[in-house]
């Protein structure tokens, strides 16, 4: 058995990110929906807007997380280093 890992294709990486985003959307929208239902029943005399608001907040959080997953340069404080500079930093760190 070889201990070297087979390189992952870019299609599989994108598919994994998309699957994570979809799962995140379902979970966070579901949690927002649940919080909206509970708030609607307990606080707002069974009105519909807390449910829509909670679901929207959940979907918005999932969208923001997905945006950060596909575009890490949008994370505050994150810097994208070109390959030429990365090689220089790697050479300096190995000394």
pLDDT digits (tens, 9 = 90+) for 45-55: 889 999 999 99
Residue 73 contacts residue 80 (beta carbons within 8 Å): yes
Q: How confident is the model at residue 95 (pLDDT cuts 50, 70, 90)?
A: low
Q: How confident is the model at residue 24 (pLDDT cuts 50, 70, 90)?
A: very high
| In the predicted structure, residue 39 carries a pLDDT above the cut 90 | yes
> pTM score, two decimals?
0.71
**In the prediction, which pLDDT does 86 show?**
75
Query: For every residue of the chain, which 3-state class applies, written as one string?
Result: CCCCCCCCCHHHHHHHHHHHHHHHHHHHHHHHHHHHHHHHHHCCCCCCHHHHHHHHHHHHHHHHHHHHHHCHHHCCCCCCCCHHHHHHHHHHHCC
**In the prediction, which pLDDT does 20 show?**
95
């Amino acid at each position: 058995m070889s201990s070297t890992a087979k390189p992952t294709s870019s299609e599989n990486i994108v598919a994994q990110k998309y699957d994570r985003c979809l799962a995140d959307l379902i979970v966070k929208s579901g949690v927002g929906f649940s919080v909206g239902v509970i708030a609607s029943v307990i606080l707002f005399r069974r009105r519909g807007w807390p449910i829509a608001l909670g679901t929207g907040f959940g979907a918005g959080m999932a969208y923001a997380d997905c945006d950060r997953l596909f575009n890490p340069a949008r994370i505050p404080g994150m810097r994208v280093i070109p390959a030429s500079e990365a090689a220089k930093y790697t050479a300096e760190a190995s000394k």
